[in-house]
Chains A and B, each alone.
Chain A
Amino acid sequence: MNQSPLISLNGITKSFSNGTVALRDMAMDVQQGEFVSLLGPSGCGKSTALRIIAGLAPATTGTVSWGDTSDSSVADSSHDVSFVFQEPTLMPWATVFGNVFLPLKLKGQSKAAAREAVMEALALVGLEQFENSYPRELSGGMKMRVSIARALVTRPRLLLMDEPFAALDEITRFKLNNDLLELWQRFNWTVIFVTHSVFESVYLSNRIVVMAARPGRVVDDMAVDAPYPRDESFRTSDIYSQHCREVSAALHKAMDSYQPGTAA
């Protein structure tokens, strides 16, 4: 992978008006097709970083640049970014179909024209029979699947996921992890996945970017060189537990190194 990265963050700093420095001098390249996890304790600026990448919030200093030169000046929707939040974030008044249709509707497509794409996205997450259900009729895991289908329907070049499975029970989370990996491999997406779970980050990613808080910063960048496809047997393998130990150690080192009052 020595072509130019899909996106690069260069010296991103974000401070809020109340003086919180959510991110300091963050630099990171993400290659086309990578599955990168941002791992860190809560408050270390993971969500802030995703919002800046998505163009939902401006950086105080620094730039986000996109690999292709055509539209590198614009930092928003033109980059085909999709976002999956921790909560399913569905519109309760719309059916499953309506929710997945939303991104295409906002881009001006008619329902008839979008139908095929919406049903395909629903099929990818295994919910095609539920197109007419309302969100409140679905379980937490199913709502999250709808949310993922909505993110997929635009065929984004970059999928940003902010602790998408954190609120789910473990069994559902494992299932969705596997489904996500399968889709990722099939479509060669680029994913930036925020999590505070060491295990989840090791299971899913090519690469783990470890972050620390106060101020939010990148402290380590580790490759997970285990082959895909990964399945449940990977969770019990030696290489998996070895990576978990390493990542845990890096995370703890970063947290221990923090001294109150010293500017890092």
Chain B
Amino acid sequence: MSQINTQSGAAIANDAVLIDPVEVARARAKRRDRVLQWLLPLIIFAIAIFLWDQLCVWNEIPSYILPRPGLVWNTLVTDWGLLSFSLLNTLKITFLSLALAIGGGVGLAVLFTVSRRVEMSLFPFAIILQVTPIVAVFPLINIYVDDQTAKLLLCAWIVAFFPILSNTTLGLNSVDHNLRDLYRLYGASRWQTLWHLQLPAAMPFFLGGLKIAGGLALIGAVVAEFVAGAAGQSSGLASRIIEAGYRLNAPRLFAALLLISVTGILIFFATSLISHLILRKWHESALKREI
């Protein structure tokens, strides 16, 4: 008994010695990569800011042309009341239009799978809406729609809804044929097939569309306000930028720009996180491969 124990102990010890050096190196490289993935961009970012700052100092660039990073930060803090109010307005338009894009895109996609005829009739118009540059259409919207919020919402919605519509439509139609047959065999109703089979199968496609649409909703909200802001009173971040441009208030312009950019990054991370949380249990895209 004791002999067997020592033998198996020796075997384990042997195994411990027999660790593949290539595999160890690979594991170490992977850990290092995980750190570098965050560290490298941060270092580059810090260097860029430092160079920006030094550029202003070396060349004695006046702050109304290129403000130093510290000044932008101070402006962000001192103008926070004004800027945060504008930020909230931009966020409101962005998220409302994204919500409408999700509702409209998914709703229309479901309608398309229920009726091929509806798809044939309406899909071309969705494409027309998508390929016509929104900046060119906006003056028309500006004339016909009075309410400022409705105007911006419509514009951002037009930009954001197409990726959701087209991705979800594709997803709803990409159901495994055998699974579809199985549902038929067990007498599933159209509603059951939609709810239990097509919608889950479309989920990865929808989430892919959502990631694109999130960014587009922000772009739509800012672009709409740019075009509208030139025409009238408006309160989002884009109008702060226009206003600051007129007044040669470069620090505030940079501060507003910073806020838009951070918003975009956060939207991207949020949609990626949602996608990961929903798909991590079952989808290949969320699978971590060992080798």
Are A and B interaction partners? yes
B290 touches A (CB below 8 Å): no
For B28, the chain A residues whose CB sits under 8 A away are none
A56 to B186, CA, bound (A): 11
Write the chain B residue with the least CB distance to A56: B181
A-B contact count (CB 8 A): 60
Chain A: minimal CB distance from B174 (Å): 13
Q: Which residues of chain B come closer than 8 Å to A55, judged between CB atoms?
A: 185
Query: Which residues of B205-252 have CB atoms within 8 Å of chain A's CB atoms?
Result: none
Q: Does B147 contact A (CB under 8 A)?
A: no
Q: Per-residue 0/1 for A93-109: is the Cβ within 8 Å of any B Cβ (1 yes, 0 no)?
A: 11000000011011100
A91 and B200 contact, Cβ closer than 8 Å, known pairs A83-B182, A106-B183, A136-B282: yes
The SS class assigned to the B binding surface is helix
Q: In chain A, residues 131-147, which have Cβ atoms closer than 8 Å to a Cβ of chain B?
A: 134-136
* Residues in B whose Cβ lies below 8 Å from that of A134: 281-282
Closest approach, in angstroms, between the C-beta of A7 and any C-beta of chain B?
A: 15
Q: Is the CB of B282 within 8 A of A105?
A: no
**How far apart are the CA atoms of A64 and B48 in the complex, in Å?**
76
**Is B284 in contact with A106, judged by CB distance below 8 angstroms?**
no
Beta-carbon contact of B185 and A89 below 8 Å:
no
Given A77-B185, A77-B187: A89 and B200 within 8 A (CB)?
no
- Does B197 lie at the interface of the complex (its beta carbon under 8 Å from any beta carbon of A)? yes
Report A65-113 residues with CB < 8 Å from chain B CB.
76-78, 81-83, 85, 87, 89, 91-94, 102-103, 105-107
A150's nearest neighbour on chain B, judged by CB, is B182
Residues of A contacting B196 in the complex (Cβ-Cβ under 8 angstroms) = 102, 105-106
The count of chain B contact residues (Cβ–Cβ below 8 Å) is: 22
Q: Are B184 and A91 in contact (CB under 8 A)?
A: no
Asked if B178 is an interface residue, CB under 8 A from chain A, the answer is: yes
CA distance A148 to B196 in the complex (A): 20
For B126-163 the 0/1 string (1 means CB < 8 A from A) is: 00000000000000000000000000000000000000
A56 touching B185 in the complex, CB below 8 Å, given contacts A89-B178, A134-B282: yes
A191 within 8 A of B: no
Determine if B18 is an interface residue (Cβ-Cβ < 8 Å): no
> Which of B187, B282, B283 is within 8 Å of A106, CB to CB?
B187
**Contact flags (1/0) for B190-201 with A, using CB distance below 8 Å?**
001000110011
The minimal Cβ–Cβ distance linking A148 to chain B, given in whole angstroms, is: 13
Check: A54 CB closer than 8 A to any chain B CB.
Answer: yes
In the complex the two chains form, is B192's CB within 8 Å of A106's CB? yes
The 6 A-B pairs with the shortest beta carbon distances in the complex, nearest first, are: A77-B187, A89-B178, A106-B186, A93-B200, A92-B282, A85-B178
23 contacts between A and B (CB under 8 A): A51-B181, A55-B185, A56-B185, A77-B184, A77-B185, A77-B186, A83-B181, A89-B179, A91-B200, A92-B282, A93-B201, A93-B203, A93-B281, A93-B282, A102-B196, A103-B186, A106-B187, A106-B192, A107-B187, A134-B281, A135-B282, A136-B282, A154-B186
